[in-house]
Amino acid sequence: MTVTKAELVTLLADATGMSKTDVEVIVNGLFSYIVEALQSGDRVEIRGFGSFYAKERDARLVKNPRTGQLHSVGHRFVPVFRPAKFFKETVNQRLLEQNESKNLS
């Protein structure tokens, strides 16, 4: 299941008792701040969740698998999210438990 931004706003509004409009402003503000920080070359770190940063990629040649042609991809920066250790461990543990329960039934 994929959670959309609209669903996230609804879930947060229900959990906090705030209006959907107020929650949407907060969510949009958070996303905008993260994008602006990365555009400035800054790193955004949310303790216990993870960090967002821009990673530099060198220019390189890539092959189109369909045609076999080589194309040049220029030097660029790409946004990256790195989850915190606790976040990775809890997601892994929960999915392992779900997988085991499916295999037992």
Q: What CATH number is associated with residue 61? A: 4.10.520.10
Predicted pLDDT of residue 22: 97
Task: Compute the half-sphere exposure of residue 61: CA atoms within 13 Å on the CB side of its CA.
Answer: 4
Query: At residue 75, what is the residue type?
Result: H
Examine the domain organization and report whether 36 and 53 are in the same domain: no
Examine the domain organization and report whether 37 and 62 are in the same domain: no
Predicted pLDDT of residue 10: 96
Domain of 54? 49-105
Cα gap 44→69, rounded to integer Å = 38
Examine the domain organization and report whether 64 and 103 are in the same domain: yes
Examine the domain organization and report whether 31 and 69 are in the same domain: no
Predicted pLDDT of residue 5: 96
Examine the domain organization and report whether 53 and 104 are in the same domain: yes
Examine the domain organization and report whether 22 and 59 are in the same domain: no
Examine the domain organization and report whether 4 and 38 are in the same domain: yes
Average pLDDT of each block of 10 consecutive residues along the chain (105 residues)?
A: 94 97 97 97 96 97 94 96 96 94 79
Examine the domain organization and report whether 68 and 33 are in the same domain: no
**Total number of domains constituting the chain:** 2
Task: Look up tokens 């040649």; give the residue.
Answer: 61
Predicted pLDDT of residue 104: 78
Q: Which H or E run contains 81?
A: strand 76-83
Task: Look up tokens 């906090």; give the residue.
Answer: 16
Examine the domain organization and report whether 22 and 64 are in the same domain: no
Examine the domain organization and report whether 68 and 32 are in the same domain: no
Predicted pLDDT of residue 96: 95
Cα gap 3→18, rounded to integer Å = 19
